[in-house]
Structure 1
Amino acid sequence: MNAMLMVIYAVFTIAALVTMWRIVVGPSILDRAVASDVLLTLVICVLGAEMAINGHTRTLPVLLIIAAVGVFGSISIARFVARRDNLDR
């Protein structure tokens, strides 16, 4: 395996572990939502780096699906929090 790819995997693994810690610890739903967006972004970056290093585009549909899931998830959480805040008033 390429040494550059191993370094990228190591850096992104550390970042993913820190992000997972934020998802578990919280303390609010918005902190967890931002952390899950960061985790999805890390996955997209790892797949993009792997595509660039190996010179292929086979995982491009996966990147698009992950990006769509991230956007729709963020919108859903934002609507949930906004609706909950309106009910509390």
Structure 2
Amino acid sequence: MTVLDYVYVSTFTMLGLGVLFTLYRLVRGPSVLDRVVCLNAISVLVVSAIAVEVAVRGDTAYVGLMVTVALLGFVGTLTAARFAERRAHDRG
């Protein structure tokens, strides 16, 4: 194994640990907005993992998948924030 292989393995390990810790917070999150932020963080971590995989393989076939996952995460977070804003406005 080369040094670069060790870097890839350590990067995937750190991304995996990040997903596990974020999933823990997703389950324990006290509010809905905490869970939405966790889902956004997981989508960012998934896009990062796909980017590392693209770097490992040297193939750009997954770039469209990266853009799609990033856009879905962004739109989902934006929709939840708008919903929370309207809910807070209706209450207050």
TM-score if structure 1 supplies the norm length? 0.91
Question: 1:81 and 1:5 mapped to 2: Cα distance?
Answer: 39
Deviations 1:52-86 (A, max 9, x none): 12211010110011011011101110111011101
Q: Which residue of 2 aligns with 1:61?
A: 64
Residue aligned with 1:27, SS: coil
1:87 alignment partner, one of 72, 85, 90 = 90
Question: 2:17 and 2:77 mapped to 1: Cα distance?
Answer: 23
Q: State the 1:9 CA deviation.
A: 1.7
Question: 1:55 and 1:7 mapped to 2: Cα distance?
Answer: 18
Q: Aligned pair 1:70/2:73, yes or no?
A: yes
Residue aligned with 1:58, SS: helix
Question: 2:71 and 2:45 mapped to 1: Cα distance?
Answer: 15
Residue aligned with 1:76, SS: helix
Q: State the 1:27 CA deviation.
A: 0.7
Q: Which residue of 2 aligns with 1:51?
A: 54
Deviations 1:27-72 (A, max 9, x none): 1111111111111000000110111122110101100110110111
Q: Which residue of 2 aligns with 1:7?
A: 10
CA RMSD in angstroms, aligned pairs only: 1.4
Question: 2:75 and 2:58 mapped to 1: Cα distance?
Answer: 29
- Stretches of structure 1 that go unaligned for 5 or more consecutive residues are none
Q: Which residue of 2 aligns with 1:42?
A: 45
TM-score if structure 2 supplies the norm length? 0.88
Residue aligned with 1:72, SS: helix
